[in-house]
Amino acid sequence: MMLPCQDWKTPEVCVSALWKKIPRYIRLTYAAAVVLGLSVHLYMFTNKFTNHDDLNQMFYADYGTASGRWLLPSVLRLDGNISIPWLIGLLSILCLAGTACLTVALFRIRRPFGCIVTAALLVAFPAVTATFGYMFSADAYFLSLLLAVFGAYAAVKWGWRGSVLATISITLSLCIYQSYLPAAVVLMAGALLFDTLDGTHSLQALLLKGLRLAATLVAALTAYLLSVHLTTQRLGIGLTDYEGISDMGKISLKELPHLVFLSYRKYFSFFLENDWKCHFDFLKYAFFMTALGAAALGILLLLLRRLGVGRSALALVLAAIYPLAGGLIYVMVPNGYVHIHMLYGLVYILIMPVALAEYAEPYLEKSGAQPFYAVVSWVTLLTMALASYSYAVTDNNAYMKADLAMRQCTAYSNRLLERVETCAGYEPGMNVVLVGSTIREDELTPTPEANTAHLVGIFDFGNLRTFFTYREFLRIYLGFTNPVYPGDSAMAQEFAAMEQVQAMPLYPRADSIQVIDGAVIVKLND
């Protein structure tokens, strides 16, 4: 049966109607995230910088299943399975903008300054830049983040039906990348905290909601682990033990207290000790003052709202859990090294004071504490604005270092190949054997001035000259198609054992490159 013509709507009409339904603060947040995200990361998006993993996955990114990320290869195909910085960068920023919108909606941030600062923090946090180091998979990772945050939103806002949808969404997120689960947990904890402060829900209702949110997370984790088991069994592969992936979810009760303590310890060290060197050092004092201000606001709210013993205790427990939730990755990966791109959950520690300051204003105005509130509000917004700017500086320092590393490695390689091709006895197509390590310790940081933060290590000169990447660098960036055998290959080790090779000096000295038994031997190290 044909529908009446008037019931049919054009795309323009549908989009216009949808646009009008979107709250103004959501539009502002999305626009701010897109504009600021593109501004902060434009250096990376308009150049092609690479690292060890990106080199090997530049044209055929198909990894992930052995790392418990069985959905990742399918998602990577959506952008052509090629590491294209501008396209991947744009898709990533759109996902981050969606994340920002869901965050302000959950944390009840409505005012323009709060929305803009939240968007700035979420797109500039150094974990984002570290992820862009692995450009070939960045958009997939940020889709994983968006799915995790959407799952938290659905579970908090839509009851049991939302929990079902959240279970699916968070499971899919884990199947792409596991490190964004803390973002979902911290958002759930924060949203439940605001529900508690409202004073409109009974303690029983709040506890039941908390149990439902916890059950949602458990269901998602269970579904994820089951999917990984079935996938690896079907393909006949095992999980890699890289960075403790094979041990994920295997936590003994004996080590749990230590891991919980470690999560809190890492939270304080990141912001107050600046051990990752990601922000201006003086900001640790501003972070401390902001934390004190947020704590004072929270205590005043408890006193003013008169929530009763039960709900007040629940609010305090949630406030204590909140930092743990942000740093939950340390509990999730008990036997692995946590890289900075796995620490995105920590950014929500900075957003809570912004949300709490806005939430508290109507209650404090009635109490006569307006001057105190005004001071806390100013300190909070200025601190977070400075933090966002500081992170933007750190991000672009990393990109500059990536630029320098690419230029230095290209210049080094050009000199090396010129020596190879002018070596006596050289013939086109000859095997090139790199004896010894492909990295010289004295060449790892030719520009130490660029080492301003720990995250920039993924953009090192040395990372482009490793056993498993350097031949790809020579092929992709210099067009050198000769077979190249790195120092860990059987052929390189066979030549390294020869007395003639052992007697050779190290590159770049004279006679450090010789043709022996039909192969070009480059002695880089003993």
Instruction: Please say whether the beta carbons of 454 and 277 come within 8 A.
Output: yes
Q: How confident is the model at residue 11 (pLDDT cuts 50, 70, 90)?
A: confident
Tell me what the pLDDT averaged over the chain comes to. Answer: 90
pLDDT of the residue at 51: 86
Bond from prior residue into 508 cis (ω within 30 degrees of 0)? yes
Q: How confident is the model at residue 1 (pLDDT cuts 50, 70, 90)?
A: very low
Alpha helices in 107-158 (DSSP H): 112-124, 126-132, 135-157
| Phi, then psi, of 164 in degrees rounded to 5 | -65, -50
Pick the most confident of 359-368, 439-448, 479-488: 479-488
Residue 394 clears pLDDT 70, i.e. is over it = yes
Closest CA to 446 of 461, 427, 431, 433: 461
Closest CA to 395 of 100, 28, 45: 45
Through-space distance between the first and last CA atoms of the chain, rounded to whole angstroms:
81
Q: How confident is the model at residue 345 (pLDDT cuts 50, 70, 90)?
A: very high
pLDDT of the residue at 248: 60
When comparing pLDDT for 301 and 6, which is higher?
A: 301
Cα–Cα distance measured from residue 160 to residue 219, given in angstroms and rounded to the nearest whole number: 13
Residue 333 clears pLDDT 70, i.e. is over it = yes
When comparing pLDDT for 248 and 73, which is higher?
A: 73
Cα–Cα distance measured from residue 52 to residue 486, given in angstroms and rounded to the nearest whole number: 14
pLDDT over 70 percentage in the chain: 91
Instruction: Please say whether the beta carbons of 331 and 260 come within 8 A.
Output: yes
At residue 258, what is the residue type? H
Q: How confident is the model at residue 526 (pLDDT cuts 50, 70, 90)?
A: confident
Closest CA to 143 of 207, 201, 71, 202: 71
Cα–Cα distance measured from residue 413 to residue 476, given in angstroms and rounded to the nearest whole number: 12
Instruction: Please say whether the beta carbons of 388 and 124 come within 8 A.
Output: yes
Residue 453 clears pLDDT 80, i.e. is over it = no
Length of the chain in terms of residues written: 526
CA dihedral 119, 122, 123, 127 (to 10 degrees): 170
Residue 457 clears pLDDT 60, i.e. is over it = no
Instruction: Please say whether the beta carbons of 180 and 342 come within 8 A.
Output: no
Give me 440's structure tokens: 């010289």
Kindly report which listed range (146-155, 303-312, 514-523) carries the lowest average pLDDT score.
303-312
Residue 66 clears pLDDT 90, i.e. is over it = no
Residue 484 clears pLDDT 70, i.e. is over it = yes
Cα–Cα distance measured from residue 213 to residue 170, given in angstroms and rounded to the nearest whole number: 12
Cα–Cα distance measured from residue 304 to residue 363, given in angstroms and rounded to the nearest whole number: 7
Give me 117's structure tokens: 């600062």
pLDDT digits (tens, 9 = 90+) for 88-142: 999 999 999 999 999 999 999 999 999 999 999 999 999 999 999 999 999 999 9
Neighbours of 155 (CB within 10 A): 31
At residue 257, what is the residue type? P
Instruction: Please say whether the beta carbons of 149 and 99 come within 8 A.
Output: yes
Residue 81 clears pLDDT 80, i.e. is over it = no
pLDDT of the residue at 522: 96
Q: How confident is the model at residue 417 (pLDDT cuts 50, 70, 90)?
A: very high
| All residues at 6 or more sequence positions from 298 whose CB lies less than 8 Å from its CB, including other chains | 315, 319, 356
At residue 306, what is the residue type? R
- On the 0-12 / 13-18 / 19+ scale of CB atoms within 10 A, 470 is buried
Give me 272's structure tokens: 């107050």
pLDDT over 90 percentage in the chain: 70
When comparing pLDDT for 62 and 183, which is higher?
A: 183
CA 26-27-29 angle, to 5 degrees, is 65
Q: What share of the chain is helix, strand, coil (3-state, %, to 5)?
A: 70, 5, 25
Residue 443 DSSP code = G
Instruction: Please say whether the beta carbons of 329 and 352 come within 8 A.
Output: no
Q: How confident is the model at residue 464 (pLDDT cuts 50, 70, 90)?
A: confident
pLDDT of the residue at 57: 86
- In DSSP notation, 147-205 reads HHHHHHHHHHHSHHHHHHHHHHHHHHHHHH-GGGHHHHHHHHHHHHHHHHHH--S-HHH
Determine how β-strand 513-516 pairs with β-strand 484-485: unpaired
The 3-state DSSP class for residue 336 equals coil
Residues 447-471 have a mean pLDDT of: 74
